Structures are given as C-alpha cells and as structure tokens.
Homo-oligomer: A and B are copies of this chain.
C-alpha cells in the first residue's frame, strides 16, 4: 500500500507482516542461488521463519536502528535491501541486499539502491553508506561499483562461509560525493 514508485514497474516499500508468505516463496525459489553467499537461507524453512525475520526487522525499526525495504517489481516482491549497523551519532549505515532468482540482470537492484541512497543522504541526513561484499561475489560487488562507491579496502577473512574464510571488499560512499554526482 505505502509505496515509493520508481517507474511503472518498479517500486520500494518497507517490509510488513503481510509480506511473509510471498517473501518466503521468493526465498524458497531462490534457495540454490542465495545459498552461495547467504547462509540464513538454510534456516528459512517456512513462512513462519520469514515472519520471525519480519518481526526482527520491525523491532529494529521501532528501535530506530535500521530498516528493511522490499523491491517491488510488477506488483510482486523481487528482492530486499537492508540498512544495518546504523549509527545516528556518526551518521552512517551499512547496506545489504539480495534479489530473487528470476529478477536478476534487470538492473532493478542498482536502480533501487540509487533511490534509497538519495533517501538516506537527503532525508535521513546520513553522511556515509558502506557496502561489504564477498570478494568473489562479483554480482554483489557490481552494485557499489556501478554506483560510484570508492573501494576502501579488503577485510581479509571477514566471514566463514561454510568452513572457508572469504574476504570482504569494503566500499564507501559519502554524502558529498553522492550529491556531487547527482
């Protein structure tokens, strides 16, 4: 109901309880593709698990500690973007995201991020957005790279991915850079 329309087909909305079933189904269909980099998919076995996830998102939002947004494409959920490790005192946040298996390669994620970053810098007044992506997860890295983020470093062995440590590439974008780009 409460949408930010980007174009005829693409829109954003905050996650809500009524998304549980549809979001679970999207996760479920995307299980194989998500599993490479997102281990939580293995603990997502029913819409109830997704409902628990949504509850966590909304509680965090009620604490003013991050928010979770659904990417809507042609009326259905196509993916999720998440603000986490939000610091109001330092005016920065980290961003995570995933797309359902059928919605990749359409540029939906990059365009959605672009809109959300406008919102984060201009409306929320944040100064820095950070994206961390596994070094070998080229699709994930493509988002900050396309959007002009600066690669600030490599966090070595940042995550244990099924028994193997993987590096994270650290990308940052500052408010003044984003506004200069516009």
A residues in contact (CB < 8 Å) with B: 1-4, 12-14, 17-18, 55, 58-59, 61-62, 64, 89-92, 119, 123-124, 127-128, 130, 150, 152-160, 165, 170, 172, 174
Contacts and interface: CB of A to CB of B under 8 A. Distances in A.
Contacts of A174: 156-157
Contact of A92 (B90, B157, B172): B157
A129 B160 CA distance: 14
A114 to B, nearest CB: 13
Contacts of A158: 90, 92, 128
Contact of A3 (B3, B119, B150): B3
Contacts of A150: 156
